[in-house]
Amino acid sequence: LAKTTQPISMDSYEGQEVNITCSHNNIATNDYITWYQQFPSQGPRFIIQGYKTKVTNEVASLFIPADRKSSTLSLPRVSLSDTAVYYCLVGDNNAGNMLTFGGGTRLMVKP
């Protein structure tokens, strides 16, 4: 399984755009990139998934360069409620759903 590296923590302010980058140098051809969000005292929650280029949904955007060795989760205009841990996961979408979580990035949004 491809190992991922993310910043341990990030600080931001309300209304700003937050970009969290994840490195996955050993990503395999069949691997997808998936991001989960976890609030305190809750289980992880799926945010977005992509394979290449750009994916956007109502919550976030995911930017993946051509070499796919990294990806960036972009959260537009964050609010205090976006304070959470964000996990980047990489793996084969068709090889079962065993998720491998790393340390995640702890995002703190300040007023």
Partner 1 sequence: EAGVTQFPSHSVIEKGQTVTLRCDPISGHDNLYWYRRVMGKEIKFLLHFVKESKQDESGMPNNRFLAERTGGTYSTLKVQPAELEDSGVYFCASSLYRDRGSANFGPGTRLLVL
Beta carbons of 78 and 10 less than 8 angstroms apart: no
Helix (H) or strand (E) holding 54: strand 53-56
Beta carbons of 83 and 42 less than 8 angstroms apart: no
Mapped onto helix, strand or coil, the DSSP state of residue 48 is: strand
Closer by beta carbon to partner 1, 42 or else 81: 42
Closer by beta carbon to partner 1, 6 or else 12: 6
Closer by beta carbon to partner 1, 81 or else 97: 97
Rule CB under 8 A: which residues touch partner 1?
A: 32, 34, 41-46, 48-49, 87, 89, 91, 93-94, 96-103
Closest distance of CB 61 from partner 1, Å: 15
